[in-house]
Amino acid sequence: MQRVGFLLKVKEHRIDEYKEHHRNVWPEMLESLRRHGWGNYSLFMRPDGMMFGYVEVPDNFQAALDGMAGEDVNSRWQALMEPFFDAPDGGRPDENMVQLEEVFHLD
């Protein structure tokens, strides 16, 4: 199992709408995440839209991302979410996650 932390930045004027979408994530999206091993997945956000994500995956994060990349529901979700993010080079949110190095863990 790999623990993964990552950063993303939501545009400040879109924060409320972004949160609303995440109160109502499509059931088929949730099932796809589970099917590709996304467990204990959480998102945390500062008031300015800087977001920290945490997820545990069975093997490695890239394999979990690659699995989701092949899902039609993920393509639709990423297209819906793309306008909410500050991404210097544009692109899908799942392609702009800045993965953080784990430097400590207390089990």
pTM for the model stands at 0.91
> Looking at residue 102, what DSSP letter applies?
P
pLDDT of residue 76: 97
* Cα–Cα dist 52/71, whole Å: 24
10: domain range?
Answer: 2-100
Asked if residue 107 belongs to a domain, the reply is no
Which CATH number goes with the domain that contains 54?
Answer: 3.30.70.100
pLDDT of residue 85: 93
For 33-36, the CB contacts below 8 A with 24+ separation are 33/68, 35/67, 36/64, 36/67, 36/68, 36/71
Q: Which residue ranges in the chain fall short of pLDDT 70?
A: none
Asked if residue 86 belongs to a domain, the reply is yes
pLDDT of residue 32: 97
φ and ψ at residue 90, rounded to 5 degrees: 70, -165
pLDDT of residue 22: 97
Asked if residue 105 belongs to a domain, the reply is no
Q: How many domains does the chain have?
A: 1
Kindly list the catalytic residues: 22
